Chains A and B, each alone.
Chain A
């Protein structure tokens, strides 16, 4: 809120989005992800008590990607008030786009020893479809990862927001979009491996994808991506843009009558959110080693919403915490009590919406009494109450 007469470079302003204490926490986290994890995984012998297993690296790496998706979801839902049930689509599209590169990296090491990916040989295709052109180039694919979901989100969002589709209506048609895309990707003729999707990856940029070093690098990249996402999101929500966005969430018609066009604000955050999801998807696929159409299922997209709801929407750390809580619980349940997982998840949905409108972060702040005294309880999803 301080008037700043001297123009400040954007990068500095971005950096100032976190306060000193937050930077300390971020620094600690980065040190853990970039130094401690590699050392504990690579340097310590497997029987050492502090050794981190491959299982741990993969699981946490995966959840870091989910956390990026959750933050992206929170931008559009928590701050923009728009519940998307289509974020699984963007996540999967990013994954598929990067998966194309990984499939090409297999080269002739597939079961059919062909230049074409195995599933194409199986379908008796003689050459790559046009949309696979250039998929052996890392840079081109990296571009596709961001551009394809962005274009789809932009076009879809433009028409939806221009028609002033909002609330549940918007949720339902994003759900229909995801569902249609899933059906499309299930077809073999679509050219993305049908049911089985992409798997059996061998290399990434020439390095073995299963090598411990590669895993550690992917893990570190995921951690950095999450930090970057949080920083960007923090900048957005504390900028005037963020204030307009929450204003649109709370009183859209007022925003219009003071001269902002909500269409472009919503469209910007929607497209950005889709791109963040896609980026997370591209990081996710090499770590888990598979991408298939079930990532686009209706259930997956709704699950993203529950990460955000459990953690606390309208805060930035909430979605990260939510993604960790739900996914750690999932991996524990599916190993120990697979039959109770859906009971737990179902209950979580109900409890989070009925009793935890602010998520665990809100609960924590309530318990700590850290909400500004006179504002306690009156504020739904206040952006400023919580530091990322």
Chain B
């Protein structure tokens, strides 16, 4: 197809093809474009009498003003000549080559139009004649709304912006403050007063570690009068292994991490935990983000200096393999393309902040991403192997993590099995020989001579066979990790309307030319192209990679991004509230060698971060959604943080790091059609280590808005519903935590007054006020009274009463919200 190739050549040159990428359109441009040999009056009359009625009656319901399926509109000359997603439908003067004519003739089994019934022969003849005439159609003056804008801000490299000057220069501790303050000042507002030390410590500790500060840490910070006290807190928290657990979990949201496949066949991703541990470690080591990306997208292709590094890099490629797959899909071609699609979609949203998946069936409706660009990426991922096979049930691929020890163990096991087998064979051979001799010379020996063995030999044989079976059953599992490797390298054909069987033009692997800045990568026939893809992504001039990540980090610190649609930087995403700050941060991030810990320091040591939450009514009225960041938002903690904090205050949290507690072995069913549930969430490990079972998330997490784990999610929502209150009132988790906390108080302090202070110190990181002490003591007294009838034992009654009070403290807003 010449048109496709021509279009491709134009795109590859880096310049959008003028006819394909809509340009900002001046008024009247449409009429100009339609300036072609003017149709004669006769032709127009033929059109109006014979052709327009057909188009109106049979075509425009789906290809008109209300609907334009396949992006095709047949209600204007421009629409008719432009065609749809798959290009022109009419070649003027050449009906036989015109898709529209082929469609109405029902020549193509996959494209019969109109679908409900074939047109009458004379109608087809009229349409054919009309195309022969050159498809005369009176011009209209309507223009299309502006979409697919190639000049959209996020496709341009970040600008080198100057830090703005501000009136209140003393407020600005960090360049970030200048950007935020200048916008507030421009709107006649002042920022909110800085938060007190307790609030600040609580905020920073939850923020960086997902755990509450201990009473000791609070006391230490309050006692530290040095000017850099808070900066040192930030350093302490960044150095804590809990930092990687907290921020690793953020990335796992984006990587749609799960320990099971979900979808139709919910089997265990029994080696996914290695990817989870890799992510935690990457954050703790402050692995540069460009390297972190490179390993996840192309770790199998990177050089390694030792086994550890090689394993790490292989494990990292789990990012591409962890998606949900329809493993019982009967249609293998569809399944293969669905997996590639999932990879493109995840990679697009997670790394680029673009919804590339939209271009699978047609050019993106809003962004200047063409179907050809989608299949440019598809070539890269189709040349990458994520599956061992596609037969029902399909098996995903796993990388072997070879090391001398693992290989030795494997060889040892093979030798052991071989020797046991040999022992069995030797005995059988010998016993057969003996058995044959006992047979009369002329009789035909039975097929199996075993029945003729003496009892003693039979028993010996059974013993040897049992030994063999035992050795085989207890084989040490060779360490593997779900991930990808290279497949046969090939460019992909566009799938027309996304149909995996309907092939269009083959497009070379390429990156969308609309993304400006980095050098255009050259893909080779030797490799999938992931190496080149990574080089392109991590080019310092890439307009999306750094912006998307600094915006994510901002979102995780503040609860909303500078661009609030963290996973969509396209035309339907929101514009940044502070575009200059976003660009400044993006460039700074790259200049700091993509260091996330540097970025945290930069943000947390700013005045913006350290503001209080109680803003003036004037500011709240002017900026109800706090898009200017003139105060701290009061935010409910995430599901995992709530659970971890409950266990922590109850003194029950198990801080063991890493590894797996999944009870089902690799590729085993979590639950199949039997609805028998093999998932087990009964553990006191940090929430991060609880299995993420797709289709059956831990209900505590599901109720508290943990994401679905099938789609990248950089911006968790927070809902407030009654079922969460039921969880708080009645769940084992909360009841047990309350009992544990009560136990701590009763064994830790002597008097009720002391216990009350200890309760507030542990749960809220502050002192209880005299009024609070009084109200709670009255509450306890009331409980004691109610319980007297039911619980004769005074000590037990006291435990119950404190447990009931602790329960209230854990259910309260102060416990689950951070200021």
Query: Are A and B bound to each other?
Result: no
